[in-house]
Structure 1
Amino acid sequence: MKLDPSFLDELRNRISLSQVAGRKVLWDNRKSVPSKGDMWAPCPFHQEKTASFHVDDRKGFYYCFGCHEKGDAISFVRKTENVEFMEAIEILAREAGMPLPERDPQAAQKAEKRASLTDLMEEAVKFFSLCLRGGAGREAAAYLDRRGLDQAARDRWNLGFAPDAWQGLWDHLIGKGAKPDEIMACGLARPSQKGGKPYDVFRNRIMFPIRDTRGRCIAFGGRAMDPNDNAKYLNSPETQLFDKGRTLYNHGPAREAVGKGQPLIVAEGYMDVIALSEAGFTGAVAPLGTAVTEHQLEMLWRLSPEPLIALDGDKAGLRAARKVMDLALPKLSVGRSVRFVLMPEGQDPDELLKAKGRAGMEAKLEAALPLVDLLWQRETEGRTFDSPDRRAALDKALRIATRQIPDEGLRYHYDQALKERTRELFRPARTGGGGNGYSQGFQRGKGGKGGFARNRFAPAIPLPSTKASLLVAQNPEATEYLREAVILASLVVTPAVAEDFEGDLLRMHCRDAMHAALRDLILAHALEAPGEFPDRARAALGPDALDELLCRTHVALCPPVRHPGDEEQARLTLNEEFAKLQAVRALRDEIDEATQDMDHVEDEAITWRLGDAARSSQDALRGLQEDSAEYDIGENGAPINRDERSALDALMQTIRFDKPHRNR
């Protein structure tokens, strides 16, 4: 079955090669740069330990520098799944949510016609360009000069002018031998209502060619020169070549620029994109005068994991930004978000560049708001929350918003961030103290084993001489840290049970950067090849990080590490460790919240709540202290499991060591 090239182009645009390949490989975090779509991993086509397999996510191609395998997403699925071409297409089409086209015996003729239409569009580009240079385009050229676009810039963008004539383009194309039905099929002319000759769609307008990812002109946008025109900007109608909701202005050049490190900026119009690019921000695109669509958002995420939405600084621009936020929320995942660049009131990117220059725009880009900030702003700006009803309404609105996030781990962090803000909003600021613990980022260390630096919020790791001491158990934060270590180590040595604890892992917020990275690796790869997972973890985290974790005294003595692969023992230990970890953290949060409420509200119910939480916390702490005695030290200095020691003592009591006398 021969497929329409437009279908294959759309399929490649919708899928991410890094996501397709990521199901078969473990990316090398030290070598990969996800923000640039530059991903490296050990090759899935031959045995190796180094990362020779390279994926260029923006171009949609892979290449192995070891075995020289290369191709796109379709060939990757064919080779790794051992399927034929059409089976690979079916797999990818299901993933992209695209129905397969029915068998079309005229596919070759349609492809030929499409090529003929694109040739006709290029002829129109030349016509408009000549008109801009001629006398008819003098006023349009002067306007572009005032906007800062000289002849060199106009040539770079293939700008043109549609003369103020009813059949200017029509007559030109007919004179070149074009067929009337093809001119109409390109969306360049409309039939006359009076039965006369068709007339041009674009008249007395500055013309902006709109190109697909291959650089072919598929449509035009036109800006009216007459200030009284009903439509200031006019796009081509949708045609066989042009689908407005699946096209981005300047998509191809922006993809190349983003691949070289430029930020991906989403502006509102053609002139904004041109102004940004001419100022050096060459990764700029626009959604063709419409709100960003679902398909366009997917296209943006293929270019960058965090596009910058830089719409106009007016009410309409803010509404459009919020629509993008609502569109993105149900599709968010780790590595797929958006940020918002709020322009000064009444200015668009072009005007900001003229007023503040490149430095002004860079400052705005640096100050881009994460999605959670725009969500908070929308729900709280200009409102007061001085009653339980209003506070409950805010809580409900935020819950409705975050409930749309499909990724459970990401949704948890959004909820935590918003919970901290509501606490601050609903009660007076407390004096002293230090900062917002949640919003402080965790930095990748420059040195140290495994490539991770200790973050300042993680509890200090006990010295080897005190790790087994009850003094450690008296420090709740250190205890939490050690419990995390036991949980992660147990899953490393027995990864087959990871699936049973996926929800617990997603809810486990690790303050330590290495712990967080190992948790993410377990969630992503522990079930793919359990026997290979420790080696994969070592490759991703560094040669010493995993060994350091497993060799800690508290970890090395836990039953799953002493008996690797024992799934029953691992499940017992993990159930207990997760339950205790979650209980202690929940109790601590309750005490913190109750304490804050007591600082400002005299309420016996809060006093009772604090006392009850404190008693529960003390009960939990006693449990922790008892648990810390899990191992006794034998007379020879060797550790002995507490349960085994008790069983041995009971057995010894049943044995009579005095030898009875025999009757002779």
Structure 2
Amino acid sequence: MSLSDGFLDELRSRISLGQVVGRKVMWDQRKSQPGKGDLWAPCPFHQEKTASFHVDDRKGFYYCFGCHAKGDAISFVRETENVDFMEAIEILAKEAGMTLPARDPRAAKQAEARDRLGEIMDQAVRYFRRALSTGPGAEARAYLDRRGLSEAARDRWEIGFAPAGWQGLRDHLTGQGVAEKDLLACGLIKDSSRGGKPYDTFRNRIMFPIRDPRGRCIAFGGRAMDPEDNAKYLNSPQTQLFDKSVTLYNHGRAREASGKGAQIVVAEGYMDVIALGEAGFTAVAPLGTAVTEAQLDMLWRMSGEPVVALDGDRAGLEAAKRVMRLALPKLKPGQTLNFALMPPGKDPDDVIRAEGPEGMQKQLAAAVPLVDLLWQEETEGRTFNTPDRRAALDAALKTRLGAITDETLRYHYSQALRDRQRELFRPAPRPRTGATGRGFPPRLPSAALPLDGTRRSFLAAADEGATDRVREAVILATCLATPQVVGDFLTRLELMECRDPLHLRVRDAILTCHGEGDAPLKEAVMARLGPEALDELMARDHVALCPAVRDAGNLETAELTLEGELAKLRAFRGWAEEMAEAQEEIAAAETEAMTWRLSQAAVARDRAARQEQEDRAEYDQGDNGARINRAERGALDAILGAIRFSKTKKSADS
């Protein structure tokens, strides 16, 4: 079975070499730059400890500087899966959602037909370009002049013109021996619904050739010269050559430029792409429809963070939100979008003509990340002055975050949105009006200082955040010691803020590795972070002495430890946040409400501390790690003693 070059090129453009290789290797996070498609790992073809295996995800090639293995996605699958060429093609085609050509002679005929149709499309390009320079194209040339497109620019973009006649292109190409059925297959003519001769698809329109990544013309886009025309822009219909849902205008040039580090801009239409290109930028555009999932994948293969540049009106903003909603489930580290909304009433072409390339560069530099657009969509034009409205915002954001499938990224999005919520809900400080009614500013409660004779422990000698870090370490070590309980605490672990950088890395690794693969959790985390990180965590005294760590695998002890430490961590941090907010507000004016908030915060903190002390004073730990109430144990011992005494007395009497 033979495969056409077009099929293989489309297959390579649809798959990501980084994803294919990533199933077999562990990327070196320090050396790799996923956003640039620059990935490094230990070579899967020979034994090594250093990351000498390089993948250029944008160009689709790999190379090992140790054993000199090299190739593309097809050769990688062949070598790692031990399959032949066609089996490798089948594996990759299934992943890309493509259907293999039938294994019969018709496949070769179809490939030949595609090549023949491609040649006809090139003939049409030449016809339209000549028509632009003739008398009927005068109005189109004047329009392009007003848009600032020089003759050299028209040549670079192969812009042409379709005359107003009904059968000009048809007559020209059939006169050169092109069969009418082939013109229909190309989408260049249409059958008449009135029984007449087929007529030209494009009439009285400025024509833009649409080429695939290999540079072959596969379709046309036409802009109407008549303002009364029903369709301002018209694309070729779907054909053997063209599917607009998996095609980007200017894809080939953009892919080549992205390999040299160019930023990719996503515009709305042909003229925006051309204007951006003439100003020195690299742009692509979907073809008259909203961006599709396939087009997103194509964009991310060129750039980890393409900038979506849209018109500065309500329609442009809504288009940006549609792209955002489509992208959320597909986001991953190093694969996101930024959004640059043009000034009101302008598109990128308008900005460039008014302010030049420098003005456009400012707009792109001011592009906002996807998380900002998400926040804007959920909060714009709304107030959150009641608990009900704040709770509704919480629920809405939680739903939106649920669309993000990557756990690590979802956590960081959650943190970013929580920061914005905290800032939004914080009352604005009121101006100071002087001393309070009692004649002096309010005094905040101060922390009790240890007595001079107090033995300085780790916690007493450290900063006030040390207690939090101790609890973080105990929680993480317990998860690694008894991973069976992690599933019940995933949400709380995800929401746990880690003050220690090491703890943050370990927590994220636990969330990422949990439930993935067959390797034990601790080994998976160690493979991701290296043994040094876990050695540093587990070697700390307060971790090594923790019963849940010493008694690894004890589910009851692990559950009690996680329940208790997470609850205490939340209570103490809640107290700290409440105190910080209350201090900001009380600095402006003392009121009974502020005093009550401070007293309640102190009560909550004392309750958490008292609970910890009571746990030590009123409970013993059994041999199995379970907590035993001392009072209940004493009562049980008394009953057992009475029973033994009664038996002893009966024995003596007898």
- Calculate the TM-score normalised by the size of structure 2: 0.78
Which residue matches 2:319?
320
> In structure 2, what is the equivalent of residue 237 of structure 1?
237
Q: Aligned residue for 1:588?
A: 572
Higher deviation after alignment, 172-181 or 62-71: 62-71
Q: What is the letter of the counterpart of residue 615 of structure 1?
A: D
Task: Kindly state the Cα deviation for residue 86 of structure 1 after the two structures are TM-superposed.
Answer: 5.1
Query: Does the CA-based 8 Å contact 2:509-2:525 persist in structure 1?
Result: no
**Separation in structure 2 between the aligned mates of residue 267 and residue 568 of structure 1, nearest angstrom:** 56
Q: Displacement, 1:521? A: 5.4
Q: What SS is found at the alignment partner of 1:429? A: coil
1: CA distance between counterparts of 2:392 and 2:534?
Answer: 50
Q: Distance in 1 between matches of 2:98 and 2:558?
A: 42
User: SS of the counterpart of 1:342?
Assistant: strand
Could you say if the C-alpha distance between residues 273 and 625 of structure 1 is closer, same or farther in structure 2, counting changes exceeding 3 Å? farther
* Contact 1:332/1:407 (8 A) holds in 2: yes
Summarize the alignment of residues 239-388 of structure 1 with structure 2, pairs less than 5 Å apart.
Answer: 239-282=239-282, 284-388=283-387
The answer to whether the Cα contact below 8 Å between 2:211 and 2:218 also exists between their aligned partners in 1 is yes
Matched-pair contact (CA < 8 Å) for 1:308–1:340: yes
Map 1:511-550 to 2 at 5 A.
511-513=499-501, 515-517=503-505, 519-520=507-508, 546=533, 549=536
C-alpha distance 390-496 of structure 1, shift in aligned 2 (>3 A): closer
- Give 3-state SS (helix, strand or coil) of 1:228's partner: coil
User: Structure 1 residue 201 and structure 2 residue 201: aligned?
Assistant: yes
Mapped contact 2:407–2:512 kept (Cα < 8 A):
no
Q: Report the alpha carbon displacement of residue 490 of structure 1 after superposing the two structures with TM.
A: 8.6
Q: Offset at 1:101? A: 6.5
Q: 1:222: Cα distance to partner?
A: 0.9
Distance 1:389 1:513, change over 3 A: closer
Q: Name the CA distance, whole Å, in 1 between partners of 2:89 and 2:188.
A: 34
- Cα 1:399–1:197 shift into 2, 3 Å: same
What do the CA deviations read for 1:25-82 (whole angstroms, capped 9, x no partner)? 1222333221211111111111122322121212222222322322332332332233
Distance 1:40 1:558, change over 3 A: farther
Using the alignment, how far apart are the partners of 1:219 and 1:624 within structure 2?
75
> Any residues of structure 2 matched to 1:167-178 within 5 Å, and which?
167-178=167-178
Q: Secondary structure at the match of 1:363?
A: helix
Structure 1 alignment gaps of length 5 or more: 433-467, 631-664
* Residue correspondences, number: 585
Secondary structure of 1:241's aligned partner:
coil
Specify whether residues 140 and 408 from structure 1 end up closer, same or farther in structure 2 by C-alpha distance, changes over 3 A only.
same
RMSD: 4.0
Residue 117 of structure 1: aligned partner: 117
Shift of 1:592: 4.3
1:395 and 1:506 map into 2 onto residues whose CA distance is 16
Aligned to 2:155: 155
Q: How does 1:66-77 map to 2 (within 5 A)?
A: 66-77=66-77
Provide Cα deviations, 1:178-203, integer angstroms capped at 9, x if missing partner.
11111111111112234333211111
Distance 1:553 1:606, change over 3 A: closer
Distance in 2, Cα, partners of 1:243 & 1:558 = 64
1:505–1:77 Cα change, 3 Å: farther
Task: Say yes or no: does 1:419 pair with 2:413.
Answer: no
Counterpart contact for 1:587–1:616, Cα < 8 Å? no
Q: Which residue of 2 aligns with 1:139?
A: 139
1:238 aligns to what SS in structure 2?
coil
Alpha-carbon displacement from aligned partner over 1:488-514 (angstroms, at most 9, x marks no partner): 78999x899898799376555444555
Taking structure 1 as reference, are residues 316 and 591 closer, same or farther at Cα in structure 2, changes over 3 Å only?
same
Task: Indicate if the aligned counterparts of 2:190 and 2:199 stay in contact, CA closer than 8 A.
Answer: yes
Report the AA paired with residue 417 of structure 2. Answer: L
Pairing 1:462-501 to 2, within 5 Å after superposition: 469-471=457-459, 475=463, 477-482=465-470, 484=472
> Could you say which residue in structure 2 is the equivalent of 1:226?
226
Q: Distance in 1 between matches of 2:488 and 2:139?
A: 69
Contact 1:121 1:186 in 2 (8 A): yes
Aligned to 1:613: 604
Q: Contact conserved, 1:497 with 1:567, CA < 8 A, in 2?
A: no
TM-score by length of 1: 0.77
1:81 aligns with 2:81: yes
> Is the CA contact 1:549–1:555 (under 8 Å) kept in the aligned structure 2?
no
Give, as a single letter, the amino acid of the residue that structure 1 aligns with 2:362: A
- Asked whether 1:19 is paired with 2:19, we answer yes
1:348 shift after superposition: 0.3
Name the residue aligned to 2:33: 33
Taking structure 1 as reference, are residues 110 and 489 closer, same or farther at Cα in structure 2, changes over 3 Å only?
same
Q: Percent identity?
A: 58
Matched AA of 1:22: G
Summarize deviations over 1:610-661 as a string: whole Å, max 9, x none.
35521343146659999xxx9xxxxxxxxxxxxxxxxxxxxxxxxxxxxxxx
The separation in 1 between residues aligned to 2:461 and 2:122, in whole angstroms, is 75
Inter-CA distance 546–97: structure 2 relative to 1 (3 Å threshold): same
| Separation in structure 2 between the aligned mates of residue 502 and residue 126 of structure 1, nearest angstrom | 66
